[in-house]
Amino acid sequence: MAVIKVDEVFKSFITTQSPWTLIKRHLLNKGNAPSFQALKDISFHADAGETVGIVGHNGSGKSTLLQIICGVMQPDSGDVTVNGRVAALLELGSGFNPEFTGRENVYFNAMLLGLNRQEIDTIFDQIVEFSGIGNFLEQPVKTYSSGMMLRLAFSVIIHTNPKILVVDEALAVGDDAFQRKCYVKLKQLQADGVTLLFVSHSAGQIIDLCDRAILLDHGEIVMTGEPKQVVHNYHKLLHIEQKDREQFREYLKSGKYNIAYTSSDESCTLQKQTHCSASLLDTAMLPETTVWYESRGAQLSHPHLQTMNGKPVNILESGQRYRYCYDVTFDQEAFEVGFGMLIKSCSGQAIGGFTTTRNHNRRIPYVAAGSHYTIIFEFDCLLRNGTYFLNCGCSALINGERAFLHRGVDVAMFQVISESEDATGIMDLGAAFSLQKVSN
């Protein structure tokens, strides 16, 4: 039974800043104000107890769709039917009065969600305990950090016994420990039969939590299906060359996912598309958490990934071989010089790396001041879909002890958008499977 049903929903926003144009449009019913079509003919449903994930690039219409479902916004046309109490975490701090204390906002928000004071009294201690905000409960919310506000808002909505829970990317604000706590609670709500609409840019979250996924692009649903397949095609759509993008959108909308897709380059079918994607470069994908440590005699620069034929790349395919390169210039002479690299996950977990410092045969015994080198590490990409970050470093013996001459953290980033359908976990081990029947 469908508890959420969306039929042929359209939504547009006027983009003009001219007061006279708005007056003519709304009061005189004249003139055509420029507008932006946020949603175009959206139709889907969510059954009771089902978790539906929604993915798409920024500006694709995800948040607008959720606001319409929750009744915050009205569509221009189309129908939305929702059966059951809806609890929504649409925007950080939405529904909170910044002048109220945490305690006051708990009661205020829970009442907005349909609970009376006696019902809130019953669950109040559970809300506070789950949020973990401690002594800040009696402080005005305007003094809270974004993480504290998220903790309290999420704790309120999950304890109000919702039949439908809507979460719009809000969990990305929380720290790792709280995110894990939220996932456990979401799993519990799923087991209790709560219907969940979940928007996230995280491939892992969508694949792990959702029964079905929807891909939105420029206000249209271009694909609905199994989460792993939807996420895979979302990443392809996000990074495909512009000349092939519209054709690939039409291919997705056709629903013929098992038929070879041919781009304008006829040598690149869907099966070969993964190899074409291995040479993609997204110039806008740059890390925002880069840290370069103080130099102690060397300067590292220009960290980047390449294909094996030297083409710059940051969109990788699992199972292919790549190069990680960076330059190093020595300001002074150095002894027993070594170099290193490290790949990390979004959460900072060390996935794997390589160092030349432990092997005497790989170290450089002596480097003269003014020397310049390009360091090249070759590696097989055994990672599954996701975003990853790279470190780099150069070390040498200083006063008889090994120390960094220079190093950088999160100096480059890349995404993996194609993977084996058989692999699980973080890495694709290339494992083989066989089955032997044993006779009695």
Residue 307 — very low, low, confident or very high, per pLDDT cuts 50/70/90? Answer: very high
Residue 67 lies in a domain: yes
**Is residue 102 located within the same domain as residue 243?**
no
**Full domain range(s) for residue 396:** 291-418
- Number of compact structural domains in the chain: 3
Residue 431 lies in a domain: no
**Is residue 231 located within the same domain as residue 216?**
no
What are 294's two structure tokens? 């103080």
Residue 266 — very low, low, confident or very high, per pLDDT cuts 50/70/90? Answer: very low
Rounded Cα distance between 168 and 164, Å, is: 13
**Is residue 295 located within the same domain as residue 170?**
no
**Is residue 53 located within the same domain as residue 117?**
yes
**Is residue 301 located within the same domain as residue 341?**
yes
Residue 167 — very low, low, confident or very high, per pLDDT cuts 50/70/90? Answer: confident
The candidate with the shortest Cα–Cα distance to 41, out of 330, 201, 253, 226, is: 253
The answer to whether 342 and 357 have CB atoms below 8 angstroms apart is: no
CA distances to 19, 104, 113, 235, 417 from 266, rounded to whole Å, are 51, 63, 55, 21, 21
Q: Residues 401-413, buried b or exposed e (16+ Cβ, 10 A)? A: eeebbbbbbbbbb
The pLDDT tens digits of the residues spanning 169-185 come to: 766 555 656 776 777 78
**Is residue 348 located within the same domain as residue 228?**
no
Q: DSSP string covering 288-344, please? A: S--EEPPPSSEEEEEEEEEETTS-B-SEEETT-EEEEEEEEEESS-EEEEEEEEEEE
> Of all residues in the chain, what percent carry a pLDDT higher than 90?
41
Amino acid type, 302: H
The pLDDT tens digits of the residues spanning 337-366 come to: 999 999 998 767 789 999 999 998 999 999
Rounded Cα distance between 399 and 334, Å, is: 11
Strands 350-355 and 334-345: antiparallel
The candidate with the shortest Cα–Cα distance to 179, out of 210, 200, 159, is: 200
Domain limit, last residue, from 222, 248, 266:
222
**Is residue 36 located within the same domain as residue 169?**
yes
Residues paired with 335 in a beta bridge:
366
Rounded Cα distance between 404 and 372, Å, is: 17
Residue 22 — very low, low, confident or very high, per pLDDT cuts 50/70/90? Answer: low
**Is residue 211 located within the same domain as residue 320?**
no
Residue 46 lies in a domain: yes
For the question of whether the overall pTM of this predicted structure is more than 0.85, the answer is: no
Residue 440 lies in a domain: no
Q: What is residue 276's predicted lDDT score, i.e. its pLDDT?
A: 40
Residue 438 lies in a domain: no
- What would the mean pLDDT of 263-289 be, rounded to a whole number? 55
Per mean pLDDT, which of 115-129, 144-158, 327-341 is the most reliable? 327-341
**Is residue 249 located within the same domain as residue 297?**
no
Q: What is the CATH number for 33? A: 3.40.50.300
Mean per-residue pLDDT over the chain, rounded:
84
Strands (E) in 105-190, as ranges, are: 164-168
Rounded Cα distance between 6 and 75, Å, is: 11
The pLDDT tens digits of the residues spanning 53-96 come to: 999 888 889 989 999 998 888 999 999 999 988 888 776 556 78
**Is residue 72 located within the same domain as residue 184?**
yes
**Is residue 216 located within the same domain as residue 229?**
no
Q: What is residue 92's predicted lDDT score, i.e. its pLDDT?
A: 58
Given the structure tokens 């979004």, which residue do they identify?
346
**Is residue 380 located within the same domain as residue 405?**
yes
Alpha helices in 141-175 (DSSP H): 146-158
Residue 429 lies in a domain: no
Residue 138 lies in a domain: yes
Q: DSSP string covering 224-267, please? A: EE-HHHHHHHHHHHHHS-HHHHHHHHHHHHHT-TTSPP--SSTT
Q: What is the CATH number for 339? A: 2.70.50.60
Residue 437 lies in a domain: no
